[in-house]
Amino acid sequence: MPPFPFEINRPGMDVRLQDVITQAQGSPMAAGFMSLRQGAFPWHLDYDEIEFVIEGELHIGTAQGVKVGRPGDVIFVPKGADITFGTPNFARFFYVTYPAQWSG
C-alpha cells in the first residue's frame, strides 16, 4: 500500500492508504484499504465513513470516548466528526466514504 497522502505530523507512525473505488469510476461513494502501525493522529471528517476491521485493533477516538474495532467489527463515523485514528500495534481496515470526494 502507498503511504498516506496527507501530512499527519507523527514521525515514526506508518500510515498507508489504497483507494480502490473513487469518483473517477463514476461512483458517488469511495472505498479502499488503510493500515496504521503504532500511534494515533487527529482527523476531521467532512463525509460519512464506515470502517470494516480486517486485522489488528483499530481505535477511533471521539468526544464520547474510544470505539475499539477488532477483526470483523464495523464502525460508523458520521460527517462532521473530529476523531483520532489509532492503534496500539497494528490495524488494517476497509473503508467506505460518502460522498466519494473525501479528501476535500
Work out the angle at residue 95's Cα, subtended by the Cα atoms of residues 67 and 19, and round it to the nearest 5 degrees.
145
pLDDT digits (tens, 9 = 90+) for 59-88: 999 999 999 999 999 999 999 999 999 999
- Contacts (Cβ under 8 Å, ≥6 apart) of 72: 53
Residue 49, pLDDT > 60, answer yes
Question: What is the percent of the chain with per-residue pLDDT over 70, rounded to a whole number?
Answer: 96
The phi and psi torsions of 23 (rounded to 5 degrees) equal -60, -25
CB distance 92 to 52 below 8 Å: no
CA–CA dist 75, 66 (Å, integer): 11
* Domain limits, the chain: 14-98
pTM above 0.85, yes or no: yes
CATH code for the domain defined by 14-98: 2.60.120.10
CB 71 within 8 A of CB 53: yes
Residue 104 has a pLDDT of 45
Q: Which one has a higher pLDDT value, 71 or 103?
A: 71
Q: Is the pLDDT of residue 35 over 50?
A: yes
The CA-CA-CA angle for residues 14, 20, 25, to 5°, reads 145
Provide the pLDDT for residue 45: 94
